[in-house]
Amino acid sequence: MTGSSAIRRKEHVQRSGSPGLTEPGGSRRSRWPLLIATWPMIRYGREQASGILTGAGIGGLALVVIQGFAIGLGGWNWSILADLLGTEGPSQAGMGLGAGLVSTAFLMLLCQGLAGRGWCRGDAFIVSAIGVVVALTVISSCSRS
């Protein structure tokens, strides 16, 4: 092993031994958004944190639904968007797996917030299970019509 490669290897080992949230560079930098996202849970009490989670879940689900109705096969479904933006807009055949995963994540945020507010005596599993059953019922009833 040459001298310069040994020094690089030693620097890498030393740098990767530090805690992930405090390391200034490398692939561990991607953990900062996790800390920022969980900051309200750490900073505020349970009641305020549950309100933030509920609001994030409702807002995220609303944005997914708005995007689904606003963009169609031929571009914008709403003429006001075409007039406002002056283009035909993007085309979207349908929501894919990514939209399903994001919607599920927003649903779980909503359910965690509701459990934090005391729904089903604060049992997050029960509230999440009810949320999934309601979501699947809504999706199946919408696909039949």
Task: Give a yes or no: residue 99 inside a domain.
Answer: yes
Residue 8 domain flag? no
User: How many domains does the structure of the chain reveal?
Assistant: 1
Structure token digits, residue 136: 């699947």
Q: Is the pLDDT of residue 116 over 80?
A: yes
17 lies in some domain: no
Q: Cβ neighbours of residue 87 under 8 Å, at least 6 residues apart?
A: 75
**Residue 96, domain extent:** 27-144
CA distance 141 to 134: 11
Flag whether 47 is in a domain: yes
Q: What is the pLDDT of residues 14-41, one digit of tens each?
A: 455 555 455 555 556 666 766 776 776 6
Please give the pLDDT value at position 2. 56
Q: Which pLDDT does position 62 carry in this prediction?
A: 94
- Supply the pTM of this predicted model: 0.67
Q: Classify residue 65: in a domain, yes or no.
A: yes
In-domain check, residue 122? yes
Which helix (H) or strand (E) segment holds residue 71: the answer is strand 71-72
DSSP assignment string, 31-64: GHHHHHHHHHHHHS-HHHHHHHHHHHHHHHHHHH
Q: Is residue 113 part of a domain?
A: yes
